[in-house]
Structure 1
Amino acid sequence: MGVYEQVQDCAEFLRGKIGDFSPKCAIILGSGLNQLAEELEEAIRIQYTDIPGFPKPTVQGHSGCLHFGKLNGTEIVCLQGRSHGYEGHDETTLAYPTRVMWALGVPLLVITNASGSLNPEATPGNLMMMTDHINMSGLNPMAGMNDERFGPRFFDMTNAWDKEHSQLLRECAAEIETPLFEGTYVGVRGPNFETPAEIKAFQVLGGGCVGMSTVPEILTASHLNGMKACGIATMTNMGAGITGEPLNHEEVMELGLIAGKRLAKLLKVFVTKL
């Protein structure tokens, strides 16, 4: 069975669980952002381990559960937990959840993550809307044979981060008076945090934040016929060397929870306007 057929079979399996539920968007929850999924009303929760073909996260803070429910009355689906290239997953596997959301007819992918800030003004606890990205990970799920049923062999990335939905995020942030920085996401493979020299190089390249996820997902969404994407990074730490302090995953989790509360407030307003 080919990948396309596997994706369609998985989508059909999920339809059997959720009935006529029709999400307006799928939100990928980054490290420390699990609380949003717990706030959904009329929720149907399905563990990744029970979903055919779904990759199983192995990282603390990524529980691995699909949540279909209503947020402020709007039907959405939250992907609580994601897989990363540094866990050893192949690129096709990293693309699988996004492709399944597309096969379910979800029109918009909202990507969130925990990132290191490259902007001295965007201190930990703040939010940054991703307006572009630089792929330094060496990963691309679209490498290899292309199936035109997903999307074209060569695809444009000019509007990968959809301008219309990004503008809506700006308006929602202004409405609730939540600071929202903007910047280019630099995607690396990990699992180590970056060196101070790498952070300086990313700043010279124009990066606003850096992280170990997101790139496979935005590439996949951009390739899929008809799917749009936007995203927000939560600043959980400053990039290595900016403050001189060492970095650790526990700090990322702790500050991710603080930023996550701001993000949840913003997304609650955002989804009601879709």
Structure 2
Amino acid sequence: MELTYIEKIKEAASFIQKKLGTVQPVIGLVLGSGLGDMANQVENPVAIDYSEVPHFPVSTVEGHEGRFVAGTLEGKQVIVMQGRFHYYEGYDMKKVVFPVYVMKAIGVQTVVMTNAAGGMNRSFQAGDLMVISDHLNMTGDNPLIGPNHQELGVRFPDMSEAYNREYRKLALELAKSVVGDDGAPLKLQEGVYAGITGPTYCTPAELTMLARVGGDAIGMSTVAEVIAARHSGLKVLGISCITDMAVGEELEPLTHEQVVAVANRTKPKFIALVKAFVREVKLG
């Protein structure tokens, strides 16, 4: 007999908890393309490949390791997702957000969602980081479509503050003291993330449209996961690494390898900011 979605979440969570032993994560970190090295900062790490976890999909994208790493970071117990799942890989939305509900089931209270994104705001430049203030769901889908599981959350979740206001304020304040390996201070932007399905990058006309309706950055992840996080009562901080400029009128050809390369260069500042947030954030 086919297991229900809730039963699959519980089985996956039970498996992970047994693997973690005494580690009880309270913060989840979801790492986007080129940002997976953040997991190397975790002390006394316990690694679990996604392929081991019951009912888990497999990450197929370059720059996504495809495993959990749990342990201690800046005095708090965390679980890091080195790689995520995307709609464009052929997974349905419920599969894409499955790990979010699993993290909630093992005791996570707060998630830091990160991604690589194209900058549509002309005041941005490649290498900036952006705190996500809000999002535009341009995927044409929603992970909550279908029967609602009351055990996971309410039928009609409020999204008036998808990205926690206090978390955003804290990140912007902490950024003032972050300096990169090059000695330059971190330039932390704030703006609206437009989530698309991919896997194609946008046309100039599409980018112009999205910028005109309020998008500051664009990417192929995060939105569905944030919807699931808020559905389940998790608080969210979102951070985009601006890996390229996606201004419609000035668009140049782009490859995934270029995206990962810029994310790699930005990593020191990204890691410093995330570590500072984990250290300073108040939970509960």
TM-score, normalised to structure 2, is 0.93
Is 1:197 aligned with 2:205?
yes
CA distances 1:220-257 after superposition (whole Å, capped 9, x unpaired): 00111x31111100000111535342111111010011
Among candidates 76, 82, 86, match of residue 88 of structure 2: 86
Q: Please give the alpha-carbon distance, in whole angstroms, between the structure 2 residues aligned to 1:70 and 1:130.
A: 25
Contact 1:85/1:139 (<8 A) preserved: no
Among candidates 168, 174, 177, match of residue 175 of structure 1: 177
Unaligned runs of 5+ in 1: none
Q: Which residue of structure 2 aligns with residue 267 of structure 1?
A: 274
How does 1:26-175 map onto structure 2 within 5 Å? 26-175=28-177
Q: Please give the alpha-carbon distance, in whole angstroms, between the structure 1 residues aligned to 2:122 and 2:107.
A: 40
Q: Please give the alpha-carbon distance, in whole angstroms, between the structure 1 residues aligned to 2:278 and 2:20.
A: 19
Q: Which residue of structure 2 aligns with residue 5 of structure 1?
A: 7
Q: Please give the alpha-carbon distance, in whole angstroms, between the structure 2 residues aligned to 1:261 and 1:120.
A: 24
Contact 1:240/1:247 (<8 A) preserved: no
Secondary structure of 1:75's counterpart equals: strand
More divergent stretch after superposition (68-77 vs 238-247): 238-247
- Count of matched residue positions in the alignment of Structure 1 and Structure 2: 273
Contact 2:120/2:247 (<8 A) preserved: no
Residue 201 (structure 1) shift: 0.6
Residue 125 (structure 1) shift: 0.7
Q: Please give the alpha-carbon distance, in whole angstroms, between the structure 1 residues aligned to 2:174 and 2:57.
A: 33
Contact 2:13/2:106 (<8 A) preserved: yes
Q: Please give the alpha-carbon distance, in whole angstroms, between the structure 1 residues aligned to 2:45 and 2:192.
A: 34
Letter in 1 for 2:208: K
Q: Please give the alpha-carbon distance, in whole angstroms, between the structure 1 residues aligned to 2:148 and 2:5.
A: 10
* Shift in alpha-carbon separation, 1:175–1:240, aligned structure 2, 3 A: closer
Residue 6 (structure 1) shift: 1.2
Unaligned runs of 5+ in 2: 179-184
After TM superposition, what 4+ stretches of structure 1 lie above 4 angstroms from structure 2?
none
Q: Which residue of structure 2 aligns with residue 211 of structure 1?
A: 219
Q: Please give the alpha-carbon distance, in whole angstroms, between the structure 1 residues aligned to 2:13 and 2:127.
A: 36
Percent identity of paired positions between Structure 1 and Structure 2? 39
Letter in 2 for 1:87: E
Contact 1:22/1:75 (<8 A) preserved: yes
Root mean square deviation, CA, Å: 1.2
Q: Please give the alpha-carbon distance, in whole angstroms, between the structure 1 residues aligned to 2:249 and 2:20.
A: 46
CA distances 1:186-241 after superposition (whole Å, capped 9, x unpaired): 000000000001111111111110000011101100111x3111110000011153
Q: Please give the alpha-carbon distance, in whole angstroms, between the structure 1 residues aligned to 2:211 and 2:110.
A: 29
Q: Please give the alpha-carbon distance, in whole angstroms, between the structure 1 residues aligned to 2:238 and 2:249.
A: 24
Letter in 2 for 1:122: F
Contact 2:119/2:247 (<8 A) preserved: no
Secondary structure of 1:207's counterpart equals: coil
Q: Please give the alpha-carbon distance, in whole angstroms, between the structure 2 residues aligned to 1:131 and 1:242.
A: 25
